[in-house]
Chain A
Amino acid sequence: MSNAARAPGVGPFPPTAIRLAGLVVSVAYATLIVWVYANQPRSIGELRGGVQSTLGVYQIDREAFDNGVRLFHGGKYRDARAAFTEADRDRQDPTVQFYVAYSYYRQGWGRFYHNNALFERGLEAIERAIALAPDGQVVVDDPALAMHSSDELHAELESGIRRDLSDLNPMRVLKERK
Chain B
Amino acid sequence: MNARDSFPVVREAVTLPLVLLTVALGGGARVVADGSLRFVVPPLMALVLAAMLLGLMTRAGLVAPERLFSPARRPLQNANGGLVLLSLFAASAQMFHMLTPDRGLLHLLFNVLFLVLLLNTFAGRTDRRHLLRHLLVLFGSALVLKFVVLQGLGRSNGSLAKRLFSTALEGVSLGSLHVESTPASAGYLAFAILGLFFLGLWLLPPGATPTRTSDRGRDAA
Contacts and interface: CB of A to CB of B under 8 A. Distances in A.
Contacts of A41: 37
Contacts of B9: 4, 7-10, 15, 18-19
Interface of B: 1, 5-10, 12-14, 17-18, 21, 24-25, 28, 36-39, 41, 67, 72-74, 76-77, 79-80, 83, 87, 219
20 contacts: A3-B219, A4-B7, A4-B77, A5-B73, A7-B6, A7-B8, A9-B9, A10-B10, A18-B14, A19-B9, A19-B13, A19-B77, A22-B13, A23-B13, A25-B17, A26-B13, A26-B17, A36-B39, A37-B39, A41-B37
Chain A interface extent, by class: 20 to 34
Nearest to A38: B39
Contacts of B72: 2
A37 B80 contact: no
A6 to B, nearest CB: 7
B153 to A, nearest CB: 27
A2 B79 contact: no
B39 A29 contact: no
Interface string A14-46: 011011111101110110010011001111000
Interface SS of chain B: helix
Contact of A27 (B10, B36, B77, B83): B83
A25 B7 CA distance: 20
Interface of A is mostly: helix
A40 B41 contact: no
A4 B79 contact: no
Nearest to B86: A30
A8 B87 CA distance: 24
Contact of B21 (A23, A30, A40): A30
A33 B21 contact: yes
A43 B37 contact: yes
Nearest to B37: A42
Given A23-B79, A23-B83, A29 B18 contact: yes
Contacts of B12: 4, 19, 22
Nearest to B28: A37
Contacts of A37: 28, 39, 41
A36 B79 contact: no
Contact of B10 (A18, A33, A42): A18
